[in-house]
């Protein structure tokens, strides 16, 4: 079992990113390794280029994302942690796979349509080709499992199609078909101001999201001011139907405490938000405070982060080289 996943270097990581993605990676690191498998995680900085980003921001975001992953529990001694750019085989294999993928397949990708919007002619070729690079990211390592969010499942299916077509066209079982792992446990965290929208860095309201760099005071304040209703908590999760804000806060509590939402509702049954919110704020500060402090310590030590990425890339390059070479041989580029 080899688990491979990537995350784009977006800045300003928030509680949704942490509970929905990063925390799942950490859990997987432990589970997969206990079962004798390997975990590889990378910062998809090349994917970061597909929509305009200022160079200094891209670089800072890559560093920040690395610090966040390490602070949250990705252990660079146990997982291979790197950024795409330092492993040129990603780009090289992507070019080879560009000749296997079909235009008709890419035309069906919903994320491209969403991101390109109305101005499709003006979208970058990189944005269009993004899923082929993503296929290269995982096929390069013969990944067996790829943890992704729901929105990336279609890209993973494309990676499987590309792998299967390559194997068939060249009559050689070179690539492993990767399985997407869409975690059922990964919660979807909603905005603290409007529980019908997901918590997102693109939400203009500062109060709608908890950032991983927020101080303890800011975290507590944002939870205190989170939108709720005047009713106390009921005695079952089902009874929260129709109370989206309340459900969201209970979901956050449960995810932070590694408990089920039902269990959390049972504990607070009959209590109002005047009691629940301070308990949630304390829990969040206890869980997120240490991550923020460790992140800040790492960010003050750029050399250490650089060393982590350099070492990770070295290991990744060693694993990538035989697959790239085999693909080049198979296609007749090298004898």
Catalytic residues: 115, 198, 201
Q: Is the dihedral of CA 104, 106, 109, 111 positive or negative?
A: negative
Q: Is 129 in the site for ligand TRP (CB under 6 A)?
A: no
What are 288's two structure tokens? Answer: 């997120």
Site for ligand ADP contains 202 (CB under 6 A): yes
Stretch that binds ligand ADP, among 193-201, 272-280, 282-290, 326-334 (CB under 6 A): 193-201
Whether 13 and 65 have beta carbons less than 8 Å apart is answered as yes
Instruction: For residue 44, state whether it binds ligand TRP (rule: CB under 6 A).
Output: yes
> Rule CB under 6 A: is residue 78 a binding residue for ligand ADP?
no
Q: Residues 193, 222, 298, 46: what is their CA dihedral angle, to the nearest 10 degrees?
A: 10
Closer to ligand ADP by CB, 196 or 202: give it. 202
Q: What angle do CA 302, 304, 309 make, to 5 degrees?
A: 95
User: Considering only CA atoms, which of 285, 153, 169 is closest in space to residue 222?
Assistant: 285
How many whole angstroms separate alpha carbon 189 and alpha carbon 21?
A: 11
CA count, 13 A, side-chain hemisphere, 277: 19
Residue 148 binds ligand TRP (CB under 6 A): yes
Place of tokens 């990189």: 126
CB atoms within 10 A of CB 34: 8
Of 32, 87, 132, 189, which lies in the binding site for ligand ADP, with binding defined by CB under 6 A? 189
Of 134-173, binders to ligand ADP (CB under 6 A) are 149
- Select the span of 25-33, 69-77, 199-207, 256-264 touching ligand ADP (CB under 6 A): 199-207
Residue 149 zone, left/alpha/beta (φ > 0; ψ -120 to 50; rest): beta
- Shorter beta-carbon distance to ligand ADP: residue 117 or 230: 117
Inter-residue contact 61 to 11 (CB < 8 Å): yes
Binding flag, residue 199, ligand ADP (CB under 6 A) = yes
Q: Pick what 49 binds: ligand ADP, ligand TRP, none; C-beta below 5 to 8 Å, kind-dependent.
A: none
Q: State which of residues 86, 153, 165, 201 lies at the interface with ligand ADP (CB under 6 A).
A: 201
Considering the rule CB under 6 A, would residue 20 count as an interface residue with ligand ADP?
Answer: yes
Joined tokens for residue 2: 């080899």
Q: Which residues bind ligand TRP (CB under 6 A)?
A: 5-8, 44, 47, 134, 137-138, 146, 148, 152
Site residues for ligand ADP per CB under 6 A: 8, 10, 16-17, 20-21, 149, 188-189, 198-202
């Amino acid at each position: 079992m080899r688990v491979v996943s990537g995350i784009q270097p977006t800045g300003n990581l928030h509680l949704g990113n942490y509970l929905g993605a990063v925390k799942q990676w950490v859990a997987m690191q432990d589970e997969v390794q206990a079962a004798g498998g390997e975990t590889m995680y990378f910062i998809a900085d090349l994917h970061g280029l597909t929509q305009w980003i200022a160079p200094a921001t891209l670089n800072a975001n890559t560093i920040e994302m690395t610090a966040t992953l390490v602070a949250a529990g990705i252990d660079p001694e146990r997982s291979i942690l790197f950024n795409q750019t330092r492993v040129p085989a990603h780009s090289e294999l992507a070019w080879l796979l560009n000749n296997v993928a079909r235009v008709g397949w890419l035309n069906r990708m919903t994320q491209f349509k969403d991101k390109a919007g109305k101005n499709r002619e003006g979208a970058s070729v990189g944005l269009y080709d993004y899923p082929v690079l993503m296929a290269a990211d995982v096929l390069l390592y013969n990944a067996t499992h790829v943890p992704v969010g729901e929105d990336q499942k279609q890209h993973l299916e494309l990676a499987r199609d590309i792998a299967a077509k390559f194997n068939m066209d060249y009559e050689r079982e070179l690539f492993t078909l990767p399985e997407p792992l869409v975690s059922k446990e990964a919660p979807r965290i909603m905005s603290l101001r409007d529980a019908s929208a997901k918590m997102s860095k693109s939400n203009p309201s500062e109060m709608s999201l908890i950032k991983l760099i927020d101080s303890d005071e800011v975290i507590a304040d944002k939870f205190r001011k989170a939108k709720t209703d005047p009713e106390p908590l009921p005695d079952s999760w089902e009874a929260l139907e129709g109370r989206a804000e309340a459900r969201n806060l209970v979901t956050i509590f449960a995810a932070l405490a590694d408990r089920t939402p039902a269990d959390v509702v049972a504990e607070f049954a009959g209590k109002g938000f005047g009691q629940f919110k301070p308990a949630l704020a304390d829990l969040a500060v206890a869980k997120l405070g240490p991550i923020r402090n460790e992140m800040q310590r790492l960010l003050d030590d750029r050399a250490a982060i650089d060393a982590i990425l350099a070492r990770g890339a070295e290991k990744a390059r060693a694993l990538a080289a035989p697959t790239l070479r085999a693909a080049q041989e198979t296609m007749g580029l090298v004898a």
